[in-house]
Amino acid sequence: MNMIFILFAVLLGGALLTFFSNKVSGLLRDIFFLLTVLAAGVFFYLFIKKGDTVSFSLAGLNLQWGLNAFGWYFSLIVLGLSTLAAFYALAYMRGKERLGYFYFNFLVSILSMLGILMSRDLVSFFVFWEIMTWSSYFIVIYNGKNVQRNGINYIIFSTIGAYAMLTAIVLVYTNTDSLIISDMITSYPQFTPVLQIFVPILFLMAFSVKAAMMPLHVWAPDAYSNSPMAYSSVFSGALSKMGIYGMIIVFVTMISYLPDSTWFKEIFAWLGAITAIMGTLWAVSQDDARKLLAYSSIAQLGYIITGVAIGTELAMLSALFLAVLHGLFKGALFMAVGAIERQTGTVNFTEVTGLIRKMPWTFIASLLAIIALAGIPPLGGFVGKWMLYESLINSNHYILVIAIFFASTAAFLYCYKFLFGFFLGQEEKEWEHVKEAPALMVVPMMILAIGTVVLGTFPGIILKPADIAMQSLGYAPTEGHLWSMSVLFNEWGDQVLLKPLVYAIAGIFLFFLILLTVKGWKTMRYVTTKDISSSGEVPLEDENLTFSINFFQPFMRAAGPVMKKRMITYYREFGKAIDILFDFTRRIYNGNGQTYAIYVMIFLVILLLLKNNLFG
Amino acid sequence: MGEILQYTWGAIVSFVLAFFVGITYMGLSRIVTARVQNRIGPPWYQNFFDVFKLFSKDTSIHHGIMHHMGPAFMMVTAVMSLLIIPIFNGGSFFTNLNFHGDLIFLIYIMVFGPLGMALGAGQTGNPNSAIGVTRGLSQIVGFEIPWVMALVALMIQYKTTSIVDLMNIQAETGKWLMFTSPFAFIAAVLAMLGMFRYAPFDIVGAPQELASGPMSENGGKYLFVMMSSGAVFAFAKLTLYVDIFMGGANNLIILVVKTFILYMIPVLYGIVSPRYRTEQSVRFFWGWPTLFGLLAILQAAFL
Amino acid sequence: MINDKNSQKIVDIIRNYARKHSLWILAYGTGCGAIELPPTMTSRYDAERLGVRGAATPRQADLLLITGYLTTKSLKRVIRVYEQMQDPKYVIGFGSCTINGGMYWDSYNTIKALDRYLPVDVYINGCMPRPEAVLSGFAKLQELIQDGKANGAKEYKENLKWYRDNQKKVITNWKMPEYNW
Amino acid sequence: MVGSPVLFIAVPLLAAFLIPLLGFVWKESVRILPGLVLLYLLILSVTLMGQVMQSGTIVEVIAGWSPPWGINLVFSPLTGFLTTLMILMGFIIWIYSYRFKNVDFHEAVKYFILLLLMITGSVGIVLTGDIFNQFVFIEITSISAYALTAFYKGRDSAEASFKYLMIGSLSSMFLLLAIVLIYSQLGTLNMADIALKAHLMKPEFKILALIFFLTGLGIEAEIFPLNGWAPDVYSQAPAPVAAAFSGIVVKAGVYAIIRVIFTLFDVSGTHQFLIIAGIITLIIAEMAAIKQERLKRMLAYSSIGQMGLVLVAFGIGTEEGIFAALFLMLNHAIIKPLLFLSGSYLVYHSKDKFINETDGMAKHIPLTSFLFALGAVAIVGMPPFAGFWSKWFVLSAAAHANMILVIALVLFVSIVELVYYFRVVNRIYFFPKRKEIEPKKPTINALIAMGMLGIFILVIGFYPDSVTGYLHSASHSLLEKGKYIQDVLSIGQSLTH
């Protein structure tokens, strides 16, 4: 019995146990759930070595599972984030209904992600991919809020992608009578030119749906924002990375063997950049925190896609680094939103303000996560952004780097909006009662946030496995000439020594903070946010002067022209057109016996007329 | 240990220098404004009085920890960019952290402070502060684009992202980059107008509409740190421009002259200008300056 | 060392010198006297020579300028603004109305003597005072500051109860944050 | 030899006549007897299946009349597989409808007789080796089907039944014509014999006969546009009957048509015809299905679409394609009855069976809803459930035959299918329940029946190898025309000499 089978057996069995123990008792269910996640993690890292594979045959198909360094790198994201999210979920989901359902799908989606990372053949890849789709779909519709729209959008797009992939798989299978991915890669250069173009495109369709790339992203905002926050962190942090995982494989192993792959890469890099820009702009215009984070996830994935598409060593390194980092900070942010949702009952910036003193830990976590998201030193986000820019500049993508830069500068707007909307602003009587979220929710997000801080100074921790993963894809080792534990180089040899910079920043900050604190300590007073200089007027207790409606209206006016029409409206119109067609076909069956008899006759007549063309 | 001391020493000296020059520039700008308005204006050392008075205020209020820390964030940006940017050519002065960060690090550290201060301003709960912050961030998105375009143009033209290399190149060739890549210089200078926040881009402070916006709740020592960080930051930015476009400076006199000439551009432009609305300002930066930035990139890429 | 008398005196001298040369005024310009400020500040008289300069908010201001009469309604705002200013802070009563009600001596809804409600450091006489007078008022205040005599704020703190009583007599709907510095 | 294929015809017919008589003795026997019969036949068919897998086809000669003159039953891997499937379905449907009409004795008698007859007829269609005999069985099936459709004696059911009858009569007419043509030409009715002598036939007659066959059997196999009767029938008949239609009768029709095409005639172009007809049927049925407001109609259209897909798979013509088609038939025979059976409980008390009347049923009848959801997920081909494998094999077969367009259309259609199934599932699980409709708890035997089907779905999904062996040999035996002829006729010689 191979270890990999056992791992999957553990996960599946745990899922079923969790599901059925729900009937018995809530405590038992939680214990089973947690045990399963932990067991999977421990089992994975203890017993499954890189490079061990297992082959077996099912329904006459030769399938193969195994783990390589690349999958192992992504398993870091999956298992790390899911474990924390599992702890978080225990507190977040307490008192909600259908918990067995939720936990079951949670575990199954973890299983499917690990399966994707460990499947060495196309069929099981597809199988796990579909399992991931439906398990996440069942969680997306968990809340039951306008299920038909969000859920169906998500499932339709995922399935279109999946079927594109299925077509590609079938094509590959027919051309190389093998389903093993490595065989496909080796025989790719011998494909016919048409196939050489279409197979990657079909694969990339599937992956870019999951990676929420323009123009296939329209499912993402609703899906991310409607699933419970405990899962959204996994959903946007880890599950979307499966798309990136596939993309990287396709780009490295197929696209680069195309006769002229540059245009292909350019197109995808630009799609990524456009995704980043539009995602950012839409995120800025949101008032619902979940939607804001959803759009920002789209934007972040856009950066990663660009990095993948460029595909130089530095770009790939930055893409891998950003993938982990996005998992960290977006996980933390979704968790923070979940905490606020749980404590206040709303996630709307225009409703809840001034929580900083009520929920300090949540604030700190989301502050760190936001700084990482904005890519500001000394936190981890800067490292990823820096490598991305340098790779773009070094590989002569000058306009692209401007586009990316525009996106990440505009990201400051929604970053500030997030922090201001929830934590800053006037402190209201309405939210006096709000308490800090339970430790089970705070600790995971704090861990994630601290992770971003550590990576800001010592990116080598993640860059090392990333480097190994890239070597397993056939890149040259990059340690030393592109990065070391806390130093970054670009391909021109310019460097950023993170450690002294971070120390300097900390030193200066502390010095002036101490100066500000010590000077006039006795006569320094805290005054409430109601005691503000508003032209002599005293705001009443119940009137909230916080400015939070149409927060970035002027900027939105400036950026208006590009945001006139949303992508989804085009899809809607297409859908309407198709619906008319359906309605027309429905009318063929008009429920009238005579008509049906006439149909029979017509059929017969047609056959008789065409008998020489049809048969012979 | 020794090098830490040396770094600290260098930081202090450069800070003091930047502080004095910056404050003096502020005073001078007030004089210039007064002269243009046919007034006598305050003495050049007026701003030292102001700063010292603010420092020596007896009492002070704050609205919470972020508000308390806001000015420190601002100061981090100012001092860090001062330390990253070489003040004199060829390291004939303290090479503080010149070799530790490059232009992209600089770009990012330059928005560190404003965001931190914005958080502080947000916590005051003063609507003016929040509005000012939104305007400020929008404006950043505006002028960062031509600014980055100019820098990218330089980077790709000279295949380096470090300021020191750019200075060395100018020292070797003896040509200032403002002549070799003029479009980049124009774009950068237009971006500078937004960076310095004089009229018509003073939409953040806007005393008449927003009661000095983000700083409207800061008095006493907080305002002192703000003003001094502003002075240091201004000096740092001017030095950066001098370094990458005007061949740097070998001694204080040249540096002061060059920086002052540069500094006068936004000041003089501001004196005779009204104030833009926010979207006007943002659109301005996405208009001609961005076009010049594009030209600069094209020139760098293809010429 | 810093605590011993002489050094403290020296420090005070320096501080006062700085304070007197940088007066950031918050002009409470509801009265008709406000019209005298523009000429005072602009090129004809150019008060900026003396380091006088407008401040945006009370938090930043040193000098509260009550230009002319105060209605009972606006008194509350004035007090509020004054209490939001940071020490050291000075008040200049501007025009006769602030001294004795002036032409509104028998009005039912203006306050007569400002110094029953706020500690006024300098009065500028006249209805209304010309810019010269205003400048001289500034000069007078600067003298007082240099001599360390312009400590209305301390006085206000000491006799807070008395001021409060007077204020509450006039202001019916009293609703203010506590003043404790 | 545990028993001969004859029993598949004889025993149920006998039972069908015994039921009323025994009913007078002991009422409950009316319900028990069919079950016993079906169970016995199930065991028999499984054992025979094992035998056939070991040692080739069993050909049973009735009444000593050796082929090509007499009637013979052919229990080849293919027919055996289909027989087993049908008997199994019949057994499950019997379990489901054990308590059906348990108040009204006479109704129950009718129901079970007709059900048995229908199953017998379908099995006969599959087993017989003689086209006229097959025609007779088709008539048996159809007549009992008409009666079962009109079982509720309601206005709509009567109308549906009448439509069915009308079209069905057309079908039998054409079949008869085709048979007459063949007999006039070759003077034989034995399939093997016809297949042997087909080349002697005049081409135009041959093609005419083929066309009549296609029309007549196409009506049974629900090819577009001959399937107008189907939606009404499915939606008006009682749930178990609808399940039996989709699980048994349609399969028989499809078998008949492929037998004609693969064995009887050697006419080129029939495969293309199958593909074209199948694709059209598939697309039109699915498009119509997505616009249905009534649950059972939706299922009916979906079932038609599935049959179209089966025809496409057969039309590919390669062994892999036939394998895929049989797999598809198997999955459809398991999943669609599950959907009908559980769906009928979801809309049990609602008068006109609207989809939006299933809202929020999951809270009240969780197991049924779960089984319906399972069936939905399985039939749209989501791994790791049964539907995925059949879809995969169809696609790979199409790809091996370089039919990219087929692949594209099939996938497009399955997206449509996915949409309307998931809409229903969402409604069941996530919509507030309607006040006016109170849910009906399923009886225990119904739960058992549905549970069995659900288990089949999971087993095949997780371990397809459990069935692929049979399917392979079945598909193999369909293609080996010569072996079929030889098997059948050799028996004849052996008897004559």
Neighbours of chain A (3+ CB pairs under 8 A): B, C, D
Pairing relation of β-strands C90-94 and B60-62?
unpaired
Q: Is D167 on the interface with A (CB under 8 A)?
A: yes
Contact across the interface for B53 and C19, Cβ inside 8 Å:
yes
Q: Which two tokens stand for residue A579?
A: 């619906």
Contact across the interface for A596 and D229, Cβ inside 8 Å:
yes
Closest Cβ opposite residue A501 in set B100, B140, B293: B100
Chain B residues in contact with C86 (beta carbon < 8 A): 57-61, 219-220
Question: pLDDT tens, position by position, for chain C (181 residues)?
Answer: 556 777 888 888 888 888 888 888 888 877 777 888 888 888 888 888 888 888 888 888 888 888 888 888 888 888 888 888 888 889 988 888 888 888 888 888 888 888 888 888 888 888 878 889 888 988 999 889 888 888 888 888 888 888 888 888 888 877 777 776 6
Contact across the interface for D377 and A134, Cβ inside 8 Å:
yes
Contact across the interface for C81 and A536, Cβ inside 8 Å:
yes
Mean pLDDT of chain B: 86
Interface of A with B in 510-549 (CB under 8 A): 512-513, 515-517, 519-520, 523-534, 545-548
Please list, in sequence order, all residues whose beta carbon lies within 8 angstroms of the beta carbon of residue D350, skipping any fewer than 6 positions away: D357, D437
Contact between B74 and B225 (Cβ < 8 Å): yes
Which residue from A minimizes the CA distance to C85?
Answer: A533
Contact between D424 and D376 (Cβ < 8 Å): yes
Query: Span A15-32, mean pLDDT?
Result: 84
Encode A240-262: b = buried (16+ Cβ within 10 Å), e = exposed. bbbbbbbbbbbbbbbbeebeebe
Which residue from C minimizes the CA distance to B58?
Answer: C87
Contact across the interface for D215 and A588, Cβ inside 8 Å:
no
pLDDT tens track for D387-427? 888 888 888 888 888 888 888 888 888 888 888 888 888 88
**Best C53, C82, C83, C86 residue to mutate vs chain B (most B CBs within 10 Å):** C86
pLDDT tens track for B29-39? 999 989 888 88
Closest Cβ opposite residue D207 in set A133, A151, A611: A611
Chain C residues in contact with B34 (beta carbon < 8 A): 46, 48
**Best D149, D163, D356 residue to mutate vs chain A (most A CBs within 10 Å):** D163
pLDDT tens track for D355-382? 888 888 888 888 888 899 899 988 888 8
Residue D441's pLDDT band (boundaries 50, 70, 90)? confident
pLDDT at D496 over 60: no
Q: Is D234 on the interface with A (CB under 8 A)?
A: no
Residue B146's pLDDT band (boundaries 50, 70, 90)? very high
Which residue from B minimizes the CA distance to C154?
Answer: B58
Contact across the interface for B219 and C60, Cβ inside 8 Å:
yes
- Give ipTM to 2 decimals: 0.88
**Best A521, A525, A533 residue to mutate vs chain C (most C CBs within 10 Å):** A533
d(CA B208, nearest CA chain C) in Å? 8
Closest Cβ opposite residue A390 in set B161, B278, B282: B161
| pLDDT for position D497 | 46
Which residue from C minimizes the CA distance to B37?
Answer: C43
Query: Span D71-95, mean pLDDT?
Result: 88
Closest Cβ opposite residue C48 in set B42, B61, B211: B42
- Per-domain residue ranges of chain C: 15-170
d(CA C177, nearest CA chain A) in Å? 7
Contact between B163 and B86 (Cβ < 8 Å): yes
Mean pLDDT of chain D: 85
pLDDT tens track for A140-162? 888 777 777 888 888 888 888 88
Q: Which two tokens stand for residue B13?
A: 């000296």
Chain B residues in contact with A515 (beta carbon < 8 A): 221, 225
pLDDT at B254 over 70: yes
CB pairs under 8 A between B and C: 82
d(CA C140, nearest CA chain A) in Å? 27
pLDDT tens track for D290-341? 888 888 888 889 998 988 999 888 888 888 889 999 999 999 998 999 998 8
pLDDT tens track for A389-425? 888 888 888 888 899 989 988 888 888 888 888 888 8
- Residue D381 placed within a domain: yes
Encode D422-440: b = buried (16+ Cβ within 10 Å), e = exposed. bbbbbbbbbbebeeebebb
How many domains are there within chain D?
1
- Per-domain residue ranges of chain A: 260-522+544-564, 565-614
pLDDT tens track for A526-551? 888 888 877 777 777 777 788 888 88
d(CA D88, nearest CA chain A) in Å? 22
pLDDT tens track for B95-108? 777 777 788 888 88
Interface of A with B in 111-150 (CB under 8 A): none
Mean pLDDT of chain A: 86
Interface of D with A in 335-364 (CB under 8 A): none
Closest Cβ opposite residue A600 in set D226, D423, D465: D226
Contact across the interface for B62 and A517, Cβ inside 8 Å:
no
pLDDT at D101 over 70: no
Alpha-carbon gap, residue A290 to A333, rounded angstroms: 9
| pLDDT for position D224 | 82
Contact between D123 and D86 (Cβ < 8 Å): yes
Query: Span D479-492, mean pLDDT?
Result: 79
Alpha-carbon gap, residue A82 to A108, rounded angstroms: 12
Instruction: Report CA B162 to chain centroid distance, whole Å.
Output: 19
* DSSP-assigned beta bridge partners for residue D73: D60, D128
Identify residue B226 by its one-letter amino acid code.
M
Q: Do chains C and B touch (3 or more CB pairs under 8 A)?
A: yes
Identify residue B283 by its one-letter amino acid code.
R
Contact across the interface for C58 and A533, Cβ inside 8 Å:
yes
Residue A433's pLDDT band (boundaries 50, 70, 90)? confident
pLDDT tens track for D130-179? 888 889 999 989 989 888 888 888 888 888 888 889 888 888 999 999 89
Interface of C with B in 50-69 (CB under 8 A): 51, 53-54, 56-60, 62
Contact across the interface for B53 and C42, Cβ inside 8 Å:
no
CATH class of C15-170: alpha beta
Contact across the interface for A525 and C180, Cβ inside 8 Å:
yes
How many domains are there within chain B?
1
Q: Which two tokens stand for residue D148?
A: 């079962």
CB pairs under 8 A between A and C: 27
Neighbours of chain D (3+ CB pairs under 8 A): A
pTM of structure: 0.91
pLDDT tens track for A222-239? 888 888 888 888 888 888
Neighbours of chain B (3+ CB pairs under 8 A): A, C
Closest Cβ opposite residue C49 in set B42, B215, B220: B42
| pLDDT for position D102 | 67
Chain C residues in contact with A539 (beta carbon < 8 A): none
Contact across the interface for C176 and A535, Cβ inside 8 Å:
no
Chain D residues in contact with A147 (beta carbon < 8 A): 426, 430-431
**What is the domain range of residue B68?**
2-302
- Residue D406 placed within a domain: yes
Chain A residues in contact with D228 (beta carbon < 8 A): 589, 593, 595-596, 599
| pLDDT for position B291 | 92
- What letter does residue A348 receive in the DSSP assignment? B
| pLDDT for position B24 | 92
